[in-house]
Amino acid sequence: MKKIQLVSSLFVALAFFSGPAFATDISEMRTPAGLDVWYVQEKSIPILSVEISFPRGSVHEPDGLGGLANMVSSTLDEGAGDLNALAFQTRLEELAISMSFGSSKDTFRVSLKTLSKNRDEAFRLLGLALQSPRFDQKAVERIRRQIQTRLIGQAEDANAIAAKAWFKKTYGDHPYGRPSLGTKQSIARITPADLKAWVDANFRLDGILIGAVGDVDQAEIGRLLDIALAALPKAQVTPEVSKIMPSSAGSTIVIRKPNPQSVVMFGMPGIMRDDPDYYAAYVMNYVLGGGGFTSRLYQEVREKRGLAYSVYSYLYPYEHSAIYLGGLGTANERVVESLDVVKAEISKLAEQGITDEELVKAKVFLNGSFPLRLDSNAKIARMLVAIRISDLGMGYIDQRPGFINAVTVEDVRRVARRLLRSGAMTWVIVGDPAGIDG
Amino acid sequence: MKSVCFGIGQTIAVLSFAVLTSSPVQAGLFNPEVFELENGLQVVVLEDHRAPVVTQMVWYKVGAADEPVGKSGIAHFLEHLMFKGTTNAPGNTFSQTVAASGGRENAFTSHDFTGYYQTLAAANLEQVMKLEADRMTNLTLSEKDIVAERNVVMEERRSRTENKPSALLGEQTAAAQFLTTPYRIPVVGWAHEIQQLNREDAFAFYRQYYAPNNAILVIAGDVLTADVKKLANKYYGVIPRGDVTLRNWPQEPPQLSPRRVELRDQRVQQPSWRRSYLAPGSFDAKKHLAEPLDLLAQILGGGTTSRMYQALVVEQKIATSAGSWFSGDSVGPARFGLYARPVAGGDLATVEKSMDAEIEKIISGGVSEAELNRAKAGMLALATYARDSVTRKARIFGRALVIGQTVEGVETWPQRVEAVTRQQVQDAAKEVLDLRRSVTGLLLPEKKS
């Protein structure tokens, strides 16, 4: 009975993912000012969602100013043009406009969501924030205090401590090893002039990527985007970031904290997004510790032994490097056992790969779940930009099932042998683990 | 803290639901179809044909507040155990089936309710309706499952609560706030009681509360109501009614004096301050205060333009965050909460004094028309934004009905918000923000000896 159920649902899922509703509705358009936009018109709800990405992130920060990109993202909506911080925020609230900014290692993200009836003002305000942010001294000082408090908070948080140590060990002094929030020293140093300089140097139209979903037609979305963006300078200064291989020296770092539960983070060099074996690695990760309640780590660590509430692994390809990360949280007395189980699973996968049945299930899940993730306009806009960041092309949504279905057991075996080298793994344990030195 | 729900794989904050629960739009916008099966199962269908996706949610009218004395955590433990299989679908057949269509699933427990959901391709709805109906009555549990899963729950408690001093303070303040309401006990349970939970406890709880006449089924997405009716009758309709005892929680006695809780922990580097006031829940004689209190929470401390943020963070520069929240959708008494975090090196007494001053100001001077209109605009817009997500719509109705609110109550919410006056907000502040009904919590580093 179990078998029959699975087979029939496989069939349904295969039929389903071949036609996600929006896939054929993406149009590539150009605004009057010449900006390339991927747009989906969705008329049923009177809202607009826009996602914008600049190809600049914390890796492009000047030396000594770590945390600058994040500080820009926290300060852009603190007053712009003739509106001070309170006036700007009040205007957003009155019109229920949601505007947010965020920096990652490689990119700077802008999200805007508005009721259609307020769209002109929403895009005008976004234009002000991007083109003429004020960075008033008082607002900057306030944001600085908030970041300083967050840094103190991170020093209490086992997960944050583990991540910081792991990245430092893996990337050393390369910008990828830098904490994205910055440090106490760098945050103290950043001036309003630094924030302004970042904006001037990096909010450029070359390399900008835009995705939009909304209930207006193409001409209208083009007009609105130009209000917010057309006045930005065009030419992009190519920033220098060296490609870097994560450290593969392999080590175990123990950071003692008086917590009842140890947080364990492990990782190793990963695989770049444009690597021919990327999809094989993607399938491999799903089987090892990817989403859902069916992965090997979930079964072995949580389901059978009750060692952890959360256990996971994921691929993290950056622009200039790639890592493969995992983690779990377990009682101090059970850290040794947990590490043994995880290590055994990783070795087993490296030596034996995955089974035919696992491959089929992984493909069905990875293909079937993709359109399900896109259950709101904002998520679709974000996905459009993600596809553009990885340069996967307009046809990606239609091609993706083919890429995943092409993966063979042998591909996974090959990529598992390549990635899962126990000697290359860095382990960080934060807590008071029993039976482990350090 | 009541605002945290415990899920098998992820947290779902009821606090965030609360905002959304209070965010439906003009009548007819969600267009829910509601019907009841002969066995008492209430069914809500929300058709949305934008994408071939469907969400099934089953909400049980039972939560941590219904647990027998000494068995804290059993509601949440049972939620985990519901993934262990049935006589018809052994082991993780259910999860495998969901995964086999690329679907997502999870579950959550609060003081008032327990819920299970799957989101997947609409074509697979029948399968998960069959499986969800099956586990309403046919759960099987091995001793081995019990032991392993109890350890999982202990790890969940460690990572959510025991590793986090602020979460420990949250437990202590809730316990101090409620003298008799079972909200005094954390949803996940006290550690020493979780460790004693066993198979019999889980089954007793399951048999007592998991029945069609104690549940709400919500189906949202690319479905037709007529089809859902057919399937609901076919799979859920055959389950007999259960003999469910009505909730009879002790009534909370009046709180007559302010309470203070100070938690010192060597791990704390950043002190923080919080306070909560007893407030009317959904069935209180004063439940009409709900919308004024929602708006009050927004005006007083709902964002960067709010009174508290402007006073403490912007003008006085003594805090890096300051705000307020209200979560009125509850079976028992609710709470109105305040929080603030001092600047590095700052002290809690200064922060508390300023928070008190803002409370005093709003009680004596009320709110301005501009403040009220801004708060209303934000809350009403959420209603439109909520329509964008199929699962969000399902949650709004599930959450409302499971605690005993009505579809009409949900549909007329915008009109109620619209109608709130400045006077009503001020009166609500006066009524609820009374220090005698509060618990103030301080989180501090350990004293240097």
Contacts of B97 (CB under 8 A, 6+ apart): A5, A6, A9, B89, B127, B128, B131
pLDDT band at B29 (very low <50, low <70, confident <90, very high): low
C-alpha A6: how far from its chain's center? 32
Separation between Cα atoms, residue A150 and residue A164, nearest integer Å: 14
Q: With respect to CATH, is domain A251-431 assigned 3.30.830.10?
A: yes
Q: With respect to CATH, is domain A25-229 assigned 3.30.420.480?
A: no
Does B8 score more than 50 pLDDT?
no
Contacts of B152 in chain A (CB under 8 A): 302, 306, 308-309
The torsion angles phi and psi of A237, rounded to 5 degrees, stand at -85, 120
Tell me the average pLDDT of chain B: 92
pLDDT band at B51 (very low <50, low <70, confident <90, very high): confident
pLDDT band at A364 (very low <50, low <70, confident <90, very high): very high
Separation between Cα atoms, residue B111 and residue B60, nearest integer Å: 11
**Residue B80's closest CA among B186, B194, B223?**
B194
CA of B254 vs chain A CAs: smallest distance (Å): 37
pLDDT value for B245: 82
Largest CA distance in chain A: 68
pLDDT value for A422: 86
Q: Is A15 on the interface with B (CB under 8 A)?
A: yes
Whether residue A261 and residue B374 make contact (CB cut-off 8 A), yes or no, is no
In percent, the amount of chain B with pLDDT more than 90 equals 85
Contacts of A145 in chain B (CB under 8 A): 317, 320, 343-344
Write the DSSP symbol of residue B113. -
Contacts of B258 (CB under 8 A, 6+ apart): B435, B436, B437, B438, B439, B440
CA of B272 vs chain A CAs: smallest distance (Å): 11
Does B178 score more than 60 pLDDT?
yes
**Residue A117's closest CA among B166, B319, B380, B211?**
B380
Q: Check: CB of residue A340 under 8 Å from CB of residue A385.
A: no
Instruction: Name the residue with tokens 């709010």.
Output: B306
All domains in chain B, ordered by first residue? 4-236 (3.30.830.10), 259-393+403-445 (3.30.830.10)
Contacts of B50 in chain A (CB under 8 A): 21, 42, 44
How many cross-chain Cβ pairs, A to B, lie less than 8 Å apart?
Answer: 218
- Over residues A163-191, the pLDDT tens digits come to 999 999 999 999 999 999 999 999 999 99
Separation between Cα atoms, residue A272 and residue A5, nearest integer Å: 37
Q: Which of B67, B79, B358, B371 is catalytic?
A: B79
- A302: which 2 tokens? 């949580």
pLDDT value for B12: 30
Q: Mapping DSSP to helix (H, G, I), strand (E, B) and coil, where does residue A427 land?
A: strand
- Segment B352-374 shows an average pLDDT of 98
**Residue B182's closest CA among B252, B278, B126?**
B252
Separation between Cα atoms, residue B428 and residue A342, nearest integer Å: 55
- Over residues A249-295, the pLDDT tens digits come to 889 999 999 999 999 999 999 999 999 999 999 999 999 999 778 89
Q: Is A377 on the interface with B (CB under 8 A)?
A: yes
Q: Check: CB of residue A139 under 8 Å from CB of residue A63.
A: no
- Over residues A381-415, the pLDDT tens digits come to 999 999 999 999 988 988 999 999 999 999 999 99
Contacts of B163 in chain A (CB under 8 A): 158, 259-261, 263, 329
C-alpha A64: how far from its chain's center? 24
Query: Among partner residues B92, B268, B391, which is closest to A294 by beta-carbon distance?
Result: B92
Tell me the average pLDDT of chain A: 92
Contacts of B159 in chain A (CB under 8 A): 261, 263, 309-310, 329
Among A358, A372, A377, the residue to mutate for chain B (most B Cβ within 10 A): A372
- Over residues A181-225, the pLDDT tens digits come to 999 999 999 999 999 999 999 999 999 999 999 999 999 999 999
Cα–Cα separations (whole angstroms), residue B363 to A387, B79, B358, B367, B407: 52, 43, 9, 9, 33
pLDDT band at B449 (very low <50, low <70, confident <90, very high): low
- Over residues B297-318, the pLDDT tens digits come to 999 999 999 999 999 999 999 9
Lowest mean pLDDT among A422-431, B20-29, B120-129: B20-29
Residue range(s) in chain A whose domain bears CATH number 3.30.830.10:
25-229, 251-431
Instruction: Name the residue with tokens 């220098």.
Output: A240
- Over residues B376-416, the pLDDT tens digits come to 999 999 888 888 888 999 999 999 999 999 999 998 899 99
Angle at B214 between CA B212 and CA B220, to 5 degrees: 70
Contacts of B90 in chain A (CB under 8 A): 2
Separation between Cα atoms, residue A186 and residue B172, nearest integer Å: 37
- Over residues A85-127, the pLDDT tens digits come to 999 999 999 999 999 999 999 999 999 999 999 999 999 999 9
Among B161, B388, B446, the residue to mutate for chain A (most A Cβ within 10 A): B388
pLDDT band at B192 (very low <50, low <70, confident <90, very high): very high
Enumerate long-range contacts of A24-28, CB under 8 Å, 24 or more apart.
A26/A384, A26/A394, A26/A397, A27/A218, A28/A394
Active site residue B79: yes
Contacts of A244 (CB under 8 A, 6+ apart): A171, A174, A176, A320, A321
Separation between Cα atoms, residue A163 and residue A144, nearest integer Å: 22
Residue of A nearest to B390 (CA): A375
Whether residue A93 and residue B377 make contact (CB cut-off 8 A), yes or no, is yes
Whether residue B304 and residue A89 make contact (CB cut-off 8 A), yes or no, is yes
Interface of A with B in 92-121 (CB under 8 A): 93-96, 113, 115
Whether residue B377 and residue A96 make contact (CB cut-off 8 A), yes or no, is yes
**Residue A98's closest CA among A34, A154, A50, A148?**
A50
Does B126 score more than 70 pLDDT?
yes
As a dihedral over the C-alpha atoms of residue A316, residue A388, residue A227, residue A102, rounded to 10 degrees, the angle is 0
pLDDT band at B63 (very low <50, low <70, confident <90, very high): very high
Does A227 score more than 70 pLDDT?
yes
Query: A12 versus B257: which is more confidently predicted?
Result: B257
Q: Is A5 on the interface with B (CB under 8 A)?
A: yes
**Residue B178's closest CA among B108, B246, B245, B261?**
B261
Residue of B nearest to A118 (CA): B381
Residues comprising chain B, all counted: 449
